Structure 1
Amino acid sequence: MNSQALTLTKYHVAPAGAPAKIFLAFLATAGIFYINIMPALVSGLIDDLGFSNQQAGYISSANLYGASLGALAAVALVRRIHWKQWSFVLLLGILVLDFASIYLTQPVMLAALRFLHGLVGGLLVGIGFAVISRTGDADRAFGYLLFIQWGFGGLGLMYLPGLVPDYGVAVLFYALMLFTAVTLLMLPFLPDFAIAQTRPASTGEFRPGKALLLTLTAIFLFQAANMGLFAYVIGLGRNKGLTLEYISPALALASWIALAGSALVIALGTKHGRTRPLLIGILITALATWLLHYSGYHWVYGGFNILIGITWAFALPYLFGMCSELDPSGKLAALGGFCSKMGLASGPLVAGILLGENNYTAVINAAAVGLLLCAAAAIWPARGLDSASRKPD
């Protein structure tokens, strides 16, 4: 492919501008947009195809474990490839695999196909994360990423579950294909981004290697805890006596109000450091998660899902931004993407095992504990990066 084929140099957006961050947010979302409508997908597989809770959870996990491996491959590739050419091919692959998913109705075959979809999508997301790290303002760029994901995820959760009874689970895959097609139209207008070479040095007790390990652990725990509960949140509402007519708008509203979390990251950046906002966000998420034990009350289910959405969209960009700060070339951001996908895949898998026959108490407790462990892992690297950023060069 001609190296200029996907670079319209006369018309591309400014590298440091908001449009570039928005286009990159679409690119880093297209491969895993199914995550943002995961409750609709899980519920659709159960209601339309007759899958069990465990089968639907395993298919979701297969998709996400594939994405984890794809993101891991991106770590080795991001500095060696022409990212726009690869992104174009990967987007086309995602379109084909989502279309093929419509015609598979056996759990094993669908799980295998979604695993392959995950490989392709995870590689694309890893590339997107790496390029975002090269913008020089990664925390805000990841804020845009969460803004796009929660905004369009809210639309999906509002309308898609209600369409499944009439159009089947196929409508969910068509929605994914539409998002991918829009991203393909944006790709030519993105500029190339130079690879930065600098990274924080070891100073005093701060060691980037140790900071990276703890940051990756925090990302894994944060995503696993949140997604483990989120994948079954529609079932939780039904189990507590709520109707789908209430649940779908409530979750959509939660996704849309969650935009406030990512918008706050975009507004604040790191001018107040990362430690305080990060810990506040994670601990509030843990408390709101535990309070979902009382989801039989409409205001509890709706209100605390909203609060979880806000703090999820607020804390995650800071965690990804920490990876980018440790290596602005983007390689470690791609590694952060791998740990994120591993967490997103492991959460529904473990939750499906704990859930059994509707044991939502165990799922909620496990999610809350996972978030507390995440906060413990994030404290030291966040403080270290805040201290390093205050020291003169």
Structure 2
Amino acid sequence: MRLTTGQKETRSVTYLVAAQLLIFQSSLGQYVTPIYFGVLARQLDYTNQQLAAIGTTEAAASIFVVIAIALFIGRLNMRKLCLVAAGMLTAATLACALTTDPAVLLMLRALVGASATVISSAGMVYVAATAIPVRWFGVQMTLTTLLTMAGLAGMPIIERQFGLPGFYVTLVLLAPATFWSAFVLPAHPKPASEALKGDSSLAASAGWLNPAAIIGLLAILAYAAYIYPMYNFSDRIGTAIGLAPVYIGFVLSATTPIGVVGSLLATTLGNRFGAVRPIAASAVLAGIGYLYFHFSTDVVGFWVAISVMSFIWNFAQPYLVSTVGRADPDGRFVFLNGLAFEGGRILTTFLFAASLSAIGPAGPALLGTVLMTLSALLIYVAVRFIRTGKAQGVESPRQAH
């Protein structure tokens, strides 16, 4: 069964806004990571390896916490979970402003990463429970991208005026939105769409042995393995080709509208062309962008690479996440989306740092090309597996019971 563009949304405006805010507020710190890494390198003399350690520690902590929570997600109160995580995120972020010790900062960033991932994962569960998840994931990407554009442009100014503490305080000022969202959303979200309640086109079996959902997570992991490290190290890559920090921030901000175009396109198309073709086209386009930067490691190549990445990131992600939601109406694998994203980041962060240090700007570009090729192949295999399950008439989890 495929959702049509004419299907009506049954969730309230309050529900939709609150779910969007959960994902945005908890993810903003990750979206401005390139600026944050640049600040640490300039003000505290952090090396590429130390920056990679921070990124990897955040990802590892996120993976551990998300797995632990996912095991009991059916019995957890999602509202209370979000409130606890929001409190941890706020406290840890404020504490980061009070220390310059690398070891202490590393532990605090682990708490920040874990709590932020829990909140954003919960937000994804709420969005996946809407009647038209592709549309609302697209809206979420659009809003997040627009607000991130302001953050990328504003954070360097905040750094110059208030230093590193001002960076952290700015993120904390958004915390009330997370607390409000947790209060107004239901404690136990249930699917709003009949398509999500029992969709045999993507669900292959019940419980944790759900091949369609597992393959969907692997597709997200491969996708994230090239997106996040390249994005996080964009400041370092730009510096390696001689760009000033302010100009790098300008490029990241100026190319953000291209990402808005991608998310708006996903929102408009919805499921009109399914999920296969948009994701496959995204993989091909991203590979072309990285190849261009590999053979043209100059200012133009940097612009092209960042522009392509911005578009693909926002266009493909709604399809990837909603596909897992269609395969997993109970939400346990949707909650693990954060695991797939963080897993992709942790798998390749040190490789990106090593390639940048050893080869220069062309190193990450070459590694990105290889990863995108792998991502495209994995997505193709995942979709073939899902279609085979549908052709064989495999029952969905709810139909099986």
SS of residue paired to 1:328: coil
Q: Could you say if the C-alpha distance between residues 258 and 236 of structure 1 is closer, same or farther in structure 2, counting changes exceeding 3 Å?
A: same
Q: Could you say if the C-alpha distance between residues 245 and 30 of structure 1 is closer, same or farther in structure 2, counting changes exceeding 3 Å?
A: closer
Work out which of the residue numbers 127, 132, 136 in structure 2 matches 1:141.
Answer: 136
2:72, 2:149 → 1: CA distance? 33
> Do structure 1's residue 112 and structure 2's residue 107 form an aligned pair?
yes
- Residues 127-166 of structure 1: per-residue CA shift (max 9 Å, x gap): 2222222113222222223223322222221121243244
Please report how far the alpha carbon of residue 17 of structure 1 lies from its aligned counterpart in structure 2 after TM superposition: 4.8
Structure-2 residue corresponding to 1:8 = none
Please report how far the alpha carbon of residue 125 of structure 1 lies from its aligned counterpart in structure 2 after TM superposition: 2.3
Bigger mean CA offset, 365-374 vs 150-159: 150-159
> Do structure 1's residue 354 and structure 2's residue 355 form an aligned pair?
yes
Q: Could you say if the C-alpha distance between residues 146 and 344 of structure 1 is closer, same or farther in structure 2, counting changes exceeding 3 Å?
A: farther
Please report how far the alpha carbon of residue 36 of structure 1 lies from its aligned counterpart in structure 2 after TM superposition: 0.3
Structure-2 residue corresponding to 1:332 = 333
Please report how far the alpha carbon of residue 300 of structure 1 lies from its aligned counterpart in structure 2 after TM superposition: 3.1
Letter aligned with residue 229 of structure 1: M
Bigger mean CA offset, 231-240 vs 296-305: 296-305
2:199, 2:186 → 1: CA distance? 26
Work out which of the residue numbers 117, 121, 133 in structure 2 matches 1:122.
Answer: 117
Structure-2 residue corresponding to 1:52 = 47
1:324, 1:64 → 2: CA distance? 22
Please report how far the alpha carbon of residue 383 of structure 1 lies from its aligned counterpart in structure 2 after TM superposition: 4.9
How do 1:181-260 residues align onto structure 2 when only pairs under 5 Å count?
Answer: 181-191=176-186, 194-196=189-191, 198-201=197-200, 209-260=210-261
Structure-2 residue corresponding to 1:306 = 307
Structure-1 residue corresponding to 2:27 = 32
Structure-1 residue corresponding to 2:396 = none
2:381, 2:199 → 1: CA distance? 15
1:35, 1:206 → 2: CA distance? 33
Conserved? CA contact 1:30–1:180, under 8 Å: yes
1:264, 1:377 → 2: CA distance? 23
Q: CA RMSD in A?
A: 2.8
1:297, 1:19 → 2: CA distance? 46
2:90, 2:60 → 1: CA distance? 19
Conserved? CA contact 2:216–2:323, under 8 Å: yes
How do 1:150-165 residues align onto structure 2 when only pairs under 5 Å count?
Answer: 150-165=145-160
Conserved? CA contact 2:279–2:319, under 8 Å: yes
Letter aligned with residue 260 of structure 1: V
1:357, 1:156 → 2: CA distance? 31
* Alignment coverage as a number of residue pairs: 378
Bigger mean CA offset, 278-287 vs 337-346: 337-346
How do 1:367-386 residues align onto structure 2 when only pairs under 5 Å count?
Answer: 367-383=368-384, 385=386
1:95, 1:124 → 2: CA distance? 12
1:340, 1:39 → 2: CA distance? 17
Please report how far the alpha carbon of residue 333 of structure 1 lies from its aligned counterpart in structure 2 after TM superposition: 0.6
2:201, 2:266 → 1: CA distance? 27
Q: Could you say if the C-alpha distance between residues 18 and 350 of structure 1 is closer, same or farther in structure 2, counting changes exceeding 3 Å?
A: farther
Please report how far the alpha carbon of residue 167 of structure 1 lies from its aligned counterpart in structure 2 after TM superposition: 2.1
SS of residue paired to 1:359: coil
Unaligned regions of 5+ residues in structure 2, if any? 1-8, 394-398
Unaligned regions of 5+ residues in structure 1, if any? 1-13
Please report how far the alpha carbon of residue 358 of structure 1 lies from its aligned counterpart in structure 2 after TM superposition: 6.2
Conserved? CA contact 1:217–1:374, under 8 Å: no
Please report how far the alpha carbon of residue 222 of structure 1 lies from its aligned counterpart in structure 2 after TM superposition: 0.8
2:213, 2:345 → 1: CA distance? 19
Conserved? CA contact 1:221–1:370, under 8 Å: yes
TM-score in terms of structure 1 length: 0.87
- Residues 263-298 of structure 1: per-residue CA shift (max 9 Å, x gap): 111111112111111100121112112322356543
Q: Could you say if the C-alpha distance between residues 149 and 68 of structure 1 is closer, same or farther in structure 2, counting changes exceeding 3 Å?
A: farther
1:183, 1:152 → 2: CA distance? 15
Please report how far the alpha carbon of residue 45 of structure 1 lies from its aligned counterpart in structure 2 after TM superposition: 0.7
1:358, 1:254 → 2: CA distance? 26
Conserved? CA contact 2:280–2:376, under 8 Å: yes
Q: Could you say if the C-alpha distance between residues 330 and 289 of structure 1 is closer, same or farther in structure 2, counting changes exceeding 3 Å?
A: same
TM-score in terms of structure 2 length: 0.85
Q: Could you say if the C-alpha distance between residues 54 and 17 of structure 1 is closer, same or farther in structure 2, counting changes exceeding 3 Å?
A: same
Please report how far the alpha carbon of residue 119 of structure 1 lies from its aligned counterpart in structure 2 after TM superposition: 2.2
Conserved? CA contact 2:128–2:334, under 8 Å: yes
Please report how far the alpha carbon of residue 332 of structure 1 lies from its aligned counterpart in structure 2 after TM superposition: 1.1
Bigger mean CA offset, 221-230 vs 63-72: 63-72
Conserved? CA contact 1:229–1:347, under 8 Å: no
Conserved? CA contact 2:24–2:144, under 8 Å: yes
SS of residue paired to 1:135: coil
Kindly, what percent of the aligned residue pairs are identical? 19
Conserved? CA contact 1:66–1:118, under 8 Å: yes
Structure-2 residue corresponding to 1:11 = none
- Residues 238-273 of structure 1: per-residue CA shift (max 9 Å, x gap): 211222332211101222330111111111111211
SS of residue paired to 1:339: helix
Please report how far the alpha carbon of residue 337 of structure 1 lies from its aligned counterpart in structure 2 after TM superposition: 2.2
SS of residue paired to 2:83: helix
Conserved? CA contact 1:261–1:313, under 8 Å: yes
Conserved? CA contact 1:21–1:144, under 8 Å: no
SS of residue paired to 2:242: coil
Q: Could you say if the C-alpha distance between residues 20 and 144 of structure 1 is closer, same or farther in structure 2, counting changes exceeding 3 Å?
A: farther
